[in-house]
Every structure is written in C-alpha cells, then in structure tokens.
Amino acid sequence: MINQAIIPLAGLGTRLLPLTKSFPKEMWPLGKVSILERILSECLSAGIKEIFLIISDRKKIIKDYFESDKEFEKKIFKNKKALQQLNILKKYKKKIKFVFQNKPLGLGDAVNTCKNKITSSHFLLVLPDDVIINSNCSKELITAHYKYKSSVVAIKKVSDRDVNRYGIVGYSAKNRNHLKINQFVEKPTIQTSPSNYAIIGRYILSKKIFKSLASKTKGKLGEIQITDAMQNLLISNEKFTGCIFKGKYLDCGTLDGYIKSFNEVGKN
Ligand code: G1P
C-alpha cells in the first residue's frame, strides 16, 4: 500500500526573492486556497494517510499555519463563519508531521531526512512547485505503480529550450502514456538530453532510494539530487515507469509561472 508521502518545503525560495524572504511561496494563494493545501488535498484524495512536510527553522510559519491556536479561536468564537473557515485546516492536522532540514543541501538530501519514517516498500514524493489540476496525478502514479510493479515518475514533453530546467528521462519502450525508463539525467543540455520528457514533481519511489542517497554524492548545482539517486537504482535493476499524466501542469516555481498559474485557476 502506498500510504505515506513526503513534501519537501525547506528550499530557500531564491527564484522568487524578495517575496519569499519571510513568507514561503508554498503558502501563497492559488485561487481560494494555498499552493500547499492543493498539494495536500491531492495526497489525501489519492489515499495517503501520513504526510511528512520537510521544513526548516526559517519556514516554521508553515507549522504555525496548521497548528491549532486556541487563543485565536477564543477571539473569533462568536463569528461562526470565520470559525468554519478556520476549521477547514483541521482535516490535515492528524495526517501531517513535520521534519526539519536546516541545511539546504538539495532535494535528495531533503528526502533523506525521512529515511527512518518510511515504513512501507514505496512512498509518494510530491514537489510543491508543481501543481497539477483537473486530474489527480498522484492517483495516476499509484495506479501505474501497481500495474507495472515499478517505481514511477510523472513526465511531460517539454520544448528544447526547457530541457535544461528539469530532470529528463531516456526510455526503451512506450505503451500509450507509459514509458519504460532506461536513463535519468538532471538538467542536461539539449545536445546531451536523452529525450524531451521531463520529470514533473510527482514520484513513487522505493525505500531502496535511501541507500542510494546515503553516499551523499553531490550532482548538478553542487546539490544532492534525487535524479542521480534514481539513476543509481536504475543501474542496479530497479524498474522505473514514466507516466505522461492527464492533468494540466501549472509551474509555480517562477514568478511568471505563478502569475500564469493564478490566472489559469481563476478561469475554473
Ligand atoms: C526538481 C528536480 C527535477 C524536476 C523538477 C520538477 O528541480 O530536481 O529533476 O524535473 O524539480 O519541477 P528544481 O525545480 O528543484 O530545480
């Protein structure tokens, strides 16, 4: 059963400074709810029961947001509507746990902070920069995991210009919207890229990934990359499937992307 998820939130948000200096972008609204709540609801509707939110001391505001605040509730207790709105957060409270990553050493290192928390053979990893609307991408990946008995990553074809922004997969076979992956490369140049299929932030990973991350080998940008750890697992015969997901991808990792995404959800 896939019932645990990891959401890394300890990044410094450098692409969106100064806006992210004291208010994490994951808390920014996207339509009527925050980016993070959209991601959490996707996880819960995909059947996830326990979610590890990786934060840092700088991002304690995320923990405060979900924690109940009796003093504040007392102040607004006469305002039923306000209380009702506040109580929306309660559905997440029991499902989320906070893990701290205080040195931003990369996505691979963030995932590694949960190595002793994952109890089943596979888990879901969701990156909050990548919002996917209109279809539950995590659910699609879980279905593909059971079908192919493999690890799975969400993928999408990107333009030549964009391959150097993403982890890219190479593949040996394609069955409709599923690829049999035979290579992972983090942010290649177009000349060295094995394809135009980019990894978008949803992964079903085997617990074996933690062994692969243990070496703490630094990759692109001097960071410990999850893509490199997946490539190592692939070499040691772990099966990986790429799932071309049905939903619409909203890139919230850049300011332009966020503004476009906000306008897009406003249409719904
Ligand atoms: C991360 C991953 C990359 C993936 C991307 C998806 O990169 O390292 O492989 O394609 O997320 O958004 P980042 O956006 O943190 O640079």
Dig out the tokens for 250 from the structure.
Answer: 């909203």
What average pLDDT score do residues 187-207 get? Answer: 97
One-letter amino acid at 108 equals G
Q: Taking all residues of the chain, what is their mean pLDDT, rounded to a whole number? A: 95
| Ligand 1 neighbour 253 (Cβ under 6 A) | yes
Residue nearest to atom 13 of ligand 1 (CA): 166
Partnered with residue 255 across adjacent β-strands are none
Nearest-atom index, ligand 1, CA of 11: 15
Q: What is the pLDDT of residue 268?
A: 63
Dig out the tokens for 226 from the structure.
Answer: 């999850």
How many A from CA of 206 to the centre of ligand 1?
19
Q: What is the pLDDT of residue 50?
A: 98
What average pLDDT score do residues 18-29 get? Answer: 94
Could you write out the DSSP letters of every residue in 21-39?
A: SSS-GGGSEETTEEHHHHH
d(CA 87, CA 68): 9
What topology does CATH give the domain 4-267?
Spore Coat Polysaccharide Biosynthesis Protein SpsA; Chain A (3.90.550)
How many A from CA of 184 to the centre of ligand 1?
12
Nearest-atom index, ligand 1, CA of 220: 8
Which among 35, 162, 166 is the best mutation to test ligand 1's pocket, defined by most ligand atoms within 8 Å of the CB? 166
Residue nearest to atom 5 of ligand 1 (CA): 166
Nearest to 170 by CA among 148, 149, 155: 155
Query: Residue 133: CB partners within 8 Å, gap ≥ 6?
Result: 38, 247, 248, 250, 264, 265, 268
Sheet strands (E) in the chain: 4-8, 29-30, 33-34, 50-55, 96-100, 122-126, 130-133, 151-157, 167-175, 178-186, 197-206, 240-244, 248-251
d(CA 50, CA 102): 22
Query: Residue 217: CB partners within 8 Å, gap ≥ 6?
Result: 224, 228
Q: What is the pLDDT of residue 214?
A: 86
pLDDT tens-digit readout, 103-117: 888 999 999 999 999
DSSP for residue 220: G
What average pLDDT score do residues 64-77 get? Answer: 91
What average pLDDT score do residues 74-85 get? Answer: 91
How many A from CA of 225 to the centre of ligand 1?
9
What average pLDDT score do residues 117-121 get? Answer: 96
Could you write out the DSSP letters of every residue in 45-71?
A: HTT--EEEEEE-GGGHHHHHHHS--HH
pTM of this prediction? 0.96
What average pLDDT score do residues 54-70 get? Answer: 94
